[in-house]
Amino acid sequence: MSEIVNLEEWLYGVLHADNGVGGVSTLVGDRIYTDEAPASSAYPMVLISAQAPGIDVVSIGPHRVMVSTLYWIRVLGKGASKKGLATIADRIDVLLQASGGVTASIRVLMVNREQLLGTPPITTDGVRYSQLGGLYRAYVQAP
């Protein structure tokens, strides 16, 4: 039940901990959010959003083996092109592709990108907003 909340915390932790030269946290600071950013947030930023219900994978009987869930993880820029966001999006992919880990709350068995997503820019009040990222499938177990 709490695998989703714990997975979001794990994803945030992986991205936030990348604070070396060229790291996600170095490039966007603390602007890594789940679902939506505060209205006053600066750009660029990273958004982590669930895209589909988690699917339980069960064995014979009531035992849940794991949960498979899909997340849209993307970098958003104000006044930027997709090309201008590529360095951050590429770094996110390096960190997450084929990654996994264990916390006190969950075991992340594997994260893999299923689709690359770069939507067309949106212009609002004369300001251009772009985003670039991917759909990432995560397989998660409760410990």
Q: Could you give all domains of the chain from N- to C-terminal order, each with its CATH number?
A: 3-141 (3.30.2000.30)
Q: For 4-27, write each residue's pLDDT tens digit.
A: 899 999 999 999 999 999 999 999
CA 12 to chain centre: 7
How buried is residue 107: exposed, middle or buried, by Cβ count under 10 Å (0-12/13-18/19+)?
Answer: middle
pTM above 0.75, yes or no: yes
For residue 114, what are the contacts with CB-CB under 8 A and spacing of at least 6?
70, 134, 135, 136, 137
The yes-or-no verdict on residue 143 having pLDDT over 80 is no
What confidence category does residue 2 fall into, taking pLDDT thresholds of 50, 70 and 90?
confident
Q: For 45-102, write each residue's pLDDT tens digit.
A: 999 999 988 888 888 887 889 999 999 999 999 987 899 999 999 999 999 999 999 9
